[in-house]
Structure 1
């Protein structure tokens, strides 16, 4: 194959396509066409959520039309913030925007393919989903308050290592060397809510990068910044370099609630949280759950913890009594089993079904039977709470004839189960309880054959 020649021809075809204004296939398998030469992707979304604009590029793949406009209010996903959704109007035709991505220097609007493709001439009305943007802004601004609170509670060593902001929730990753205590998490949550309650104006200014950092603005350690940066300031609480969308006053966030704190890597912790409507919905759900619990317990709210504590203590006491009674019954059953011991060759053996025994009780029974037989093999099977279990024990003097691991595999296989263990002790689980008797019969036959050799 002449690869060099093929590549030359492909390059020539692409050049001709560009010159003729036809679609070309880029490396990411998207066909792009230049509709209008000139500036594009001017972001107006800080000031407005509606813009009239003209089409600069149109692309398509198998699922989407990808539209790039001269101006747009749509935020393209970047800096940990998801892209906007909304709609584009071309006359009476409406195109739902399902995602917006920032690709190099282009803000690309994704429109699901349906009906006719967008017209290339004329003007379009671009409208961002206002509620979705507002919720996203609340969560993004909350991450700034969260970082400030974390640094105040845990120390200045803490730095952001990543974030993900959606309309539904926020995720914030940061450097820290240990799990955060519940008490410290409560302090952090309280500090964020105090910042919200203070109704602090959120100001944004474009500054020289070095001036912004020198003025105390927090920057991401591994982020690359241009000469001019956008500084988002929340009074004396927070000052960060950020290109995302934010509320104009912290009071708009309404409320902040931490959902979880966890480890995502060595030295990296993660907090997930909700704000606004999602946080209020969580409070309402918890209140409904608490009301249901108080109703079930027939107790007032302030009595719930003590009532549950008393119930747990009573439950644990009953569990201990039941375990003691079960142990006594198991001991009695083991004594009865000694009467069922048989002989094969010069050794003793027992094969028995003891329903109700747990795996632990089966192992204990086998140990006692081996000790009592002095030289022998014990094969026990049981069904306990619907689960099939087997244990095989062999005294060490007989392991040259009978291997517990091999024997139990054959027994368990009859019930669709499997297991294994040492030559002198093995256990297994089964699936089909209706075949436990036939499984034990197989075990008994194998023991007799092996011991009779």
Structure 2
């Protein structure tokens, strides 16, 4: 045989060679293609196929072998499929136990049970590696996989989350070989459970919507707009809609789906106040060529904040107006490439540097620094005076505020180490933003941090700062770094050689950012806020160094002022506040007591005048000095003492009505009555049939409107 098949005569061009295929005869009990199963193939890659069928010998020959467990294990265990081996079968058995649907070969249940087994294993490993279900990148892939598995559970009759119950089975099978599964089992299960709960809340509605959509289809194609509604409203990824459609012989208008998605993104982009800067084709080609010819910009920012440099290229304008120019006058925004630069281009969570270019007779302010193609550093700037030209010698100076950024960036490494120590090794970074004034750190964790956990993490970082550990940066091979247990940011792409930042015995991470030389340079550290970002992801905002000092000074100033106001010492403020809270509580209780007494004193109880309208007895009273709670007490008292069907009371601009159960059964509705009375007073109101409240802006108008309760009651439809 040959690989690719027919390569010598038909192509395609490229590496190819003869191929051997090894088959296993499973015996006469199997028929057709099921009897002889390919378990292994070997491609002897030795030719470079070129136009005209020329097979040129490759200078470096190799053997490409294809032998996987999915092929070999079923043969070794004498099973008809990989899913019935000990790698998957326990998961299938547990799913059968949960849903009560037996596994039948060549049946619908077989497909669903196999999908669930395969997908829950994939999700378990992905979450163990730090991926969290989300709407972007790897997180969206995992969300789609998990939801597809959940939907197949729905087909098997499962109406509540179940995948999280299969995670322990996956861990039991694979945990001895992949220790991180056991370490993070609780996190994996809880992440699955929460994601399932969110999906199951909309799954049934989405399935009903899909069924009604299919029933009304005039043809065999699901419109793209409808498929997008299933995604946008019910969380059905396109893959899931496509699969559900194919089960009924339908296809999806994917172009229409993509168009609807693009429209939504465009609407979101239009609402954003930040425009995305795009490099258009000709400029992009120029920069790519520049990178190929000259290589990457030499970054000098690890050693210095100021360096001489030469202007290599200038891209003037923005958006569609971008163009490469040889000189730049004031007033035009531009991106400038230097041969070397101390400016750090945004990456790894650290924002791009700001600063200034100076040259003889001119100056330009750099507002941002971004990564360009091929390692070029793009300085976003605008000339303030003079003219900037290509080949111009400039002095590139970074804003000294970057020193605060360095402190904050090293602090993010210490924060991650502290959180892993306080919360557990499941904590992994899922994002960050490092600026001179503060930094935020996003990480995987299922629950809000307690105040004590925040205090412990904060104390650990400050302890390591006080220890003044050396911060070293070392270049090494990626595999060597992994072997040493260095933490890498999930989703980042790394070359064969990487930069490791090691902070004493505390932290070791892959990082290309700028850092302090010793932890003591960080200064005081604070966690100023903690919140949930998305399912399974938390965010903290932190300060270090001078920003932390300024924050503490501000807090201390507030404390001193409060202590002065309350005639106590700062350290006694908690007790003083507690005393005030207890005093306020006692006063509120006394006010409520007086309100009740005032209400009872004004209502008259059994002697209150009772009116009649439309077959109902009702009482209307204008009271004084009561809030809504007091009015409710007054209405309750009148209703109990007078046995009227309806009581309407008002005080100031507030209005409350209450009715007996028997009156409600006869059609009385307090919400309708209060709504109409309040409307006549220029206000609004409403509520339940037995109790409602409302209000008006003008007390006099409300008092006048109260006189019309009888008319309103008589005019309401369905009453009497």
Please state which band the TM-score falls in when normalised by the shorter chain: 0.7 to 0.9
Contact 1:401–1:450 (CA<8 Å) still a contact in 2? no
Alpha-carbon deviations, 1:21-53, whole Å to 9, x = none?
xxxxx9656984959763343222112212222
1:95 match: 364
Deviation at 1:98, TM superposition (A): 1.1
Alpha-carbon deviations, 1:241-274, whole Å to 9, x = none?
0111111111111111111222222222222110
Q: Which stretch shifts more, 350-359 or 317-326?
A: 350-359
Deviation at 1:116, TM superposition (A): 6.8
For residues 76 and 325 of structure 1, do their structure 2 counterparts lie closer, same or farther at Cα, with a shift above 3 Å needed? same
Q: 2:543 aligns with which of 240, 258, 274?
A: 274
| Mapping for residues 37-436 of structure 1, pairs under 5 Å | 38-59=294-315, 60-61=317-318, 64-105=333-374, 106-112=376-382, 118-130=388-400, 132-335=401-604, 338-344=607-613, 346-383=615-652, 388-399=653-664, 402-433=668-699, 435-436=701-702
1:20 match: none
Contact 2:343–2:369 (CA<8 Å) still a contact in 1? yes
2-structure distance, mates of 1:178, 1:401: 49
**Count of paired positions:** 423
Deviation at 1:444, TM superposition (A): 4.5
Contact 2:608–2:642 (CA<8 Å) still a contact in 1? no
Deviation at 1:369, TM superposition (A): 2.9
Q: Secondary structure at the match of 1:97?
A: strand
Deviation at 1:275, TM superposition (A): 0.5
Deviation at 1:197, TM superposition (A): 1.0
Q: Secondary structure at the match of 1:363?
A: helix
TM-score (norm 1): 0.84
1-structure distance, mates of 2:555, 2:379: 38
For residues 437 and 291 of structure 1, do their structure 2 counterparts lie closer, same or farther at Cα, with a shift above 3 Å needed? same
TM-score (norm 2): 0.54
Q: Which stretch shifts more, 335-344 or 28-37?
A: 28-37
Contact 1:338–1:369 (CA<8 Å) still a contact in 2? no
For residues 324 and 206 of structure 1, do their structure 2 counterparts lie closer, same or farther at Cα, with a shift above 3 Å needed? same
Deviation at 1:285, TM superposition (A): 1.7
2-structure distance, mates of 1:368, 1:182: 46
1-structure distance, mates of 2:678, 2:454: 50
Q: Which stretch shifts more, 270-279 or 312-321?
A: 312-321
Q: CA RMSD in A?
A: 2.8
For residues 365 and 103 of structure 1, do their structure 2 counterparts lie closer, same or farther at Cα, with a shift above 3 Å needed? farther
Unaligned runs of 5+ in 1: 1-25
1-structure distance, mates of 2:433, 2:373: 20
Higher strand proportion, which one?
A: 1
Q: Which stretch shifts more, 214-223 or 329-338?
A: 329-338
Deviation at 1:212, TM superposition (A): 0.9
Contact 1:30–1:61 (CA<8 Å) still a contact in 2? no
1-structure distance, mates of 2:614, 2:676: 22
Deviation at 1:402, TM superposition (A): 4.5
Deviation at 1:345, TM superposition (A): 5.0
For residues 340 and 67 of structure 1, do their structure 2 counterparts lie closer, same or farther at Cα, with a shift above 3 Å needed? farther
Deviation at 1:365, TM superposition (A): 2.8
Q: Which stretch shifts more, 265-274 or 165-174?
A: 265-274
2-structure distance, mates of 1:270, 1:232: 23
Q: Secondary structure at the match of 1:54?
A: strand
1:4 match: none
Q: Which stretch shifts more, 239-248 or 149-158?
A: 149-158
* Structure number with higher relative contact order (C-alpha < 8 Å, ≥ 6 residues apart): 1
Contact 1:139–1:165 (CA<8 Å) still a contact in 2? yes
Higher helix proportion, which one?
A: 2
2-structure distance, mates of 1:173, 1:337: 65
